[in-house]
Amino acid sequence: MAGSVVKILNDSAREFLNATAWSNAACEPLTGDASARKYFRLQKDKQSAVLMDASSVLESVAPFIQIGQHLHQLGFSVPAILARSDGKGLLLLEDFGDATFTRLLDNPCEPEKLYTLATDVLIALHQHPQATPKDLRVYHPEKMLEDIGLFLEWRTPTISEAGKAEFKTVWREVLPLGHQVPASLLLRDYHVANLMLLPGREGVRQAGLLDFQDAYQGPITYDLASLLEDARRDVPEELGEKMLARYLARSPALDRKAFETSLAILAALRHTRVLAIFERLSRHEGKHDYKKLHSPRVERLLQRALRHPMLAGVKRWMERYAR
């Protein structure tokens, strides 16, 4: 239910808005996800905007602005920044509305149209010659290994030192193979919850992009795995295969075997990390729904990825230590 900014926002946010045209706007919190950022919709004179409060994760503000400006210059749809206070972690953003792909998929619709649009965004991004900003950090194998170290901490906390060492060994053997495809801008959380339908726009600009502040330079397969092997939603296998075929048809120079190997490895990487995050959210933060509702799906997706022969060592490790 909407209320005034005075009642809902903290002093810092109210002070920020007082310097804008939205000081007396109606305000309501928007449903968040596992992020530390908070979002509020402001409404005034039949117009709306979104306040992003990233004061608890200040380090995410500069990348959000940088990557957003870059994506806009490339011709993609990102929320325009209407006002900003970088030091306070506050951004006033264009309101893309409520038509997230997730919400649309939860109602009767044609999922293939939405997934086709989402896939076409990746095709356009990966084929753009200036896709990657200059000096953008690289999602290299050691950084990947560092990220999935969370699995040892949260899913196998009693594991021996030998088990930890073996975990690193088996992953170090395969992660470089995930990089035997072209690199591009890797948005990292590219899935239907972070995509919005903007029907008044043309082509790939019909997809509004959100949550891109964690971007890296990395293998093209990572965001495809995020989209088509979604941790929070069942994607029909036939639909996923159709989207991969669409992507590959537009990328005829790709080495198919290297692509399939990379896709399996990065899917396994992502699923391993997500399982650890859901466990941490449950045990450390008391947010149990992610583990209860989604971990079984992610475990199934991980098992499917581990069927790839190049992941045999990781599969053996999981069967020994992570049952």
Same domain, 7 and 125: no
CA distance 84 to 280: 32
Same domain, 145 and 198: yes
Same domain, 78 and 122: no
pLDDT of residue 323 exceeding 90, the answer is no
Same domain, 214 and 296: yes
pLDDT of residue 237 exceeding 50, the answer is yes
pLDDT of residue 4 exceeding 90, the answer is no
Same domain, 7 and 115: no
Helix ranges (DSSP H) in the chain: 5-8, 11-18, 61-74, 101-105, 111-126, 141-154, 161-174, 221-228, 237-249, 256-285, 289, 295-305, 312-321
Q: Domain limits at 268?
A: 101-321
Alpha-carbon distances of 242 from 41, 101, 309, rounded to whole Å: 37, 18, 23
pLDDT of residue 238 exceeding 60, the answer is yes
CA distance 178 to 92: 38
Domain containing 85 — which CATH number?
3.30.200.20
What pLDDT band is residue 7 in, cutting at 50, 70 and 90? low
CB 226, CB 269: distance < 8 Å: no
Same domain, 54 and 116: no
Domain containing 120 — which CATH number?
3.90.1200.10
Model confidence pLDDT, tens digit, residues 27-70: 999 876 666 789 999 999 999 999 999 999 999 999 999 999 99
Longest dimension (CA), the chain: 63
Share of the chain above pLDDT 90, in %: 92
CA gyration radius, the chain: 20
Same domain, 132 and 84: no
Tell me if residue 149 falls in helix, strand or coil: helix
What pLDDT band is residue 308 in, cutting at 50, 70 and 90? very high
Share of the chain above pLDDT 70, in %: 97
CB 143, CB 109: distance < 8 Å: no
- The pLDDT mean for the chain works out to 95
Instruction: Read off the pLDDT of each residue in 130-152 and give the average, rounded to a whole number.
Output: 97
What pLDDT band is residue 3 in, cutting at 50, 70 and 90? low
Query: How many domains is the chain partitioned into structurally?
Result: 2
Same domain, 80 and 140: no
pLDDT of residue 157 exceeding 90, the answer is yes
Instruction: Read off the pLDDT of each residue in 260-274 and give the average, rounded to a whole number.
Output: 98
CA distance 11 to 15: 6
Model confidence pLDDT, tens digit, residues 181-190: 999 999 999 9
What pLDDT band is residue 2 in, cutting at 50, 70 and 90? low
pLDDT of residue 170 exceeding 50, the answer is yes
**Residue 34 pLDDT:** 60
Model confidence pLDDT, tens digit, residues 36-48: 789 999 999 999 9
CB 258, CB 301: distance < 8 Å: no
Same domain, 203 and 73: no
**Residue 1 pLDDT:** 46
Backbone CA torsion sign across 316, 321, 322, 323: positive
pLDDT of residue 116 exceeding 70, the answer is yes
